Amino acid sequence: MKKIILVGFLILILSKLAFAGEEIIAHGENPQGKCYFPYSGLVSKKDAGWQNDSITNGVFEVAVSDGNLDVRFVDAAKRIRSSRADGGQVTILNKGESEISVLVYYPKNAIEVYTFYIDKDGEKKFILTQVRGGENIPITKSAILYGSCNFIYFDKFPE
């Protein structure tokens, strides 16, 4: 447990140093749900179809700097990744008082939609919808996952 806390603390510190000048406006974690793998590419017939999916200890944040959005996440190797730095185009799809959807488009290989919202019980949640495929993607995948949010500052998302 101490190791997990230490890793989390180090990631937080490195995040603050690496992305100085940005403000984190939404933070979600531990998404789980379902994914679908079509029988194509490297996917065998046995592995094709619907499967349970989760990103254990997964962290997703939306940051804003000079009016520009970025979605950051911790990858499987526990590295902090930036959607923009990875070639993603980040934009708002829709915005309301208690719900916002952010699109991340990676040309020629993926689309992700992050919907942050407050449910009827007042709980902060997010839904991640992913579609990955294309010539350079050996494993095509579509997924819908949901998780909890520590915070969402709807008023700080740019118009």
pLDDT of residue 20: 60
Least confident of 117-121, 134-138, 142-146: 134-138
In the chain, the domains with their CATH numbers are: 22-156 (2.40.128)
Q: Which of 24, 51, 55, 29 is nearest to 147 (CA)?
A: 29
Residue-by-residue DSSP string for the chain: -HHHHHHHHHHHHHHHHHTTT-EEEEEEEEEEEEEEE-S-TT--TTT-EEEEEE-TT-EEEEEEETTEEEEEEE-TTS-EEETTTTT-EEEEEEE-SSEEEEEEEETTTEEEEEEEEE-TTS-EEEEEEEEE-STT-SS-EEEEEEEEEEEE-GGGS--
Residue, of 134 and 76, whose pLDDT is higher: 134
- Measured between alpha carbons, how far is residue 95 from residues 15, 53, 56 in Å? 26, 27, 28
Residue 25: other Cβ atoms inside 10 A: 20
Residue-averaged pLDDT of the chain: 89
Residue predicted with more confidence, 10 or 34: 34
For the stretch 29-81, pLDDT in tens is: 999 999 999 999 999 999 999 999 999 889 999 999 999 999 999 877 888 99
Q: What is the pTM of this model?
A: 0.84
* Residues facing 144 on adjacent strands: 34, 129
pLDDT at residue 3, rounded to an integer:
53
